[in-house]
Amino acid sequence: MANLIFLGPPGAGKGTQAEAIINELKIPQISTGDIIRAAIREGTALGKEFKSYTDAGKLVPDDLVNRMVDERLAQPDCKPGFLLDGFPRTVVQAEALDAMLARRGLKLDHVLLLEVADAVLLERITGRRSDPQTGRVYHVKFDPPPPEIADRLIQRSDDTEEVLRKRLEEYHAKTSPLIPYYDRAKLLRRIDGVGSMDTIRGRIFGVLRGK
């Protein structure tokens, strides 16, 4: 049983590292960003509303996100645990999550905080490209794609420098108060997010194994 939160600024590597954690622990990853992007792709009225926020680098209103997570946690695959990626992002969301878990008789085990300085994030995010055919994410400098697929790669519309600056502002203003929030609850585990993917994975598993 592992009920986990992945906390950290945009581009800290949460998505990449989440994959290793969910494969190892056999728990689902609940990424509110992915759920929101799926709604945008479907082109529903809600999706259009989401896009106006994500394209401006702003957070989607708490009540909408809280409802999505509550519905997702009700699904049977969350029985053995879950990894929340990109949620909660505000203290209001964290309080809503506490209530959702209490209602289900569940508790959090760890809040993993992946720490990376803003300057590093900027370089990482603006070079990020994904392959629409496989979903694989590359980096033009740190993890270059094979040349034959370079033409089909796309950049997330919110991965530009301008939008990223706004996302970082939102992170520092609204999400970083979660650090003292979970520290007080003795759930916060700080992880240095700078290094190779394997090194960071080792740090995360060290925490999960209680080392």
Q: Alpha-carbon distance 17 to 44, whole Å?
A: 30
Active site annotation includes 48: no
Least distance in Å: CB of 93 to ligand AMP? 6
Residue 190: closest CA among 204, 177, 201: 204
Look at the block and give the residue holding tokens 């600056």.
Answer: 165
The single residue of 37, 51, 72, 89 carrying the catalytic annotation is: 89
**Nearer residue to ligand AMP within complex by CB, 58 or 190:** 58
Map the footprint of ligand AMP across residues 152-181, applying CB under 6 A: 158, 167
> Pick from 82, 87, 138, 182: which binds ligand AMP (CB under 6 A)?
87
Q: Which is it for strands 81-85 and 110-115: parallel, antiparallel or unpaired?
A: unpaired
Site string for ligand AMP, 20-59 (x = CB under 6 A): ------------xx--x----------------xx--xxx
| C-beta of 59 vs 187, nearer to ligand AMP | 59
Residue in this structure with the two tokens 């896009």, named with its chain if needed? 51
Token output for 35? 């759920």
- Evaluate whether 163 touches 128 at the Cβ level (below 8 Å): no
Q: Does residue 168 contact residue 118 with C-beta atoms inside 8 Å?
A: yes
Residue 174 CB, nearest approach to ligand AMP (Å): 9
Smallest gap from Cβ 103 to ligand AMP, in A, equals 19
- Is 86 an interacting residue with respect to ligand AMP (CB under 6 A)? yes
The token duo for 53 is 């926020």
Question: With CB under 6 A, what is the number of residues at the site for ligand AMP?
Answer: 17
CB atoms closer than 10 angstroms to residue 117: 10
**Crossing angle between the packed helical segments 91-103 and 62-73, to the nearest 10 degrees:** 30
Tell me which residue has tokens 């957070």.
59
User: Among residues 147 and 163, whose Cβ is nearest to ligand AMP?
Assistant: 163
Respond yes or no: is residue 165 known to be catalytic.
no
Q: Which residue among 124, 129, 167, 203 is the active-site one?
A: 167
Provide the token pair at 123.
């370089």
Q: How far is the CB of 46 from ligand AMP (least distance, A)?
A: 13
Question: Active-site residue 14, yes or no?
Answer: yes
Q: Identify whether 167 is a catalytic site residue.
A: yes
Contact 72, 33 (CB under 8 A): no
**Which residue ranges make up the site for ligand AMP (CB under 6 A)?**
10, 32-33, 36, 53-54, 57-60, 65, 86-87, 89, 93, 158, 167
Catalytic residues: 14, 89, 128, 156, 167
